[in-house]
């Protein structure tokens, strides 16, 4: 599946994997986020994913109003989760709209885990 942009010069196709990678890297750059989360469907276990697997914690859907982004994250213990999520939503929306040029309808954030440093 790809997102299409039509302009005066032709058509631009952007793969959803590219958009997911932009969203994942924007999320990893936010304060308090340790990594993206990927659920093992068989066991229901959440795995911490670092920078090399940022797209596995991101899912995308398209609508007529724009792109709907769903993020699954793991946060650092002792941080303000609502503040992290607000910052994350703003950063992801800004990066997608400025790099890709497509409107973001909404960004849903699921905090799937908490990282407690040993």
DSSP codes joined into one string, the chain:
-EEEEEETTEEEEEEHHHHHHHHHHHHHTSTTEEEEEEEETTTTEEEEE-GGGGGGGEEEEE-SS-EEEEEEEEEETTS-HHHHHHHHHHHHHHHHHHHT-PPEEEEEEEEEEEE---
Predicted pLDDT of residue 43: 44
Predicted pLDDT of residue 48: 59
pTM above 0.85, yes or no: no
Structural domain boundaries in the chain: 2-115
Q: Which residues of the chain, if any, have pLDDT below 50?
A: 41-43
Predicted pLDDT of residue 41: 45
Domain 2-115 is of which CATH architecture? 2-Layer Sandwich (3.30)
The CA-CA-CA angle for residues 87, 92, 97, to 5°, reads: 130
Predicted pLDDT of residue 23: 93
Give the whole-angstrom CA distance, residue 107 versus residue 11: 26
């Amino acid at each position: 599946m790809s997102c299409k942009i039509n302009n005066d010069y032709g058509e631009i196709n952007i793969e959803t994997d590219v958009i997911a990678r932009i969203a994942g890297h924007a999320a990893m750059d936010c304060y308090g986020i340790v990594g993206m989360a990927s659920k093992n469907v068989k066991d229901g276990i959440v795995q911490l994913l670092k920078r090399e697997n940022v797209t596995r914690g991101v899912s995308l859907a398209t609508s007529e109003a724009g792109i709907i982004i769903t993020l699954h994250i793991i946060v650092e213990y002792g941080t303000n989760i609502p503040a992290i999520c607000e910052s994350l939503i703003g950063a992801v929306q800004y990066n997608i709209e400025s790099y890709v040029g497509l409107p973001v309808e909404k960004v849903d954030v699921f905090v799937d885990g908490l990282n407690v440093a040993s």
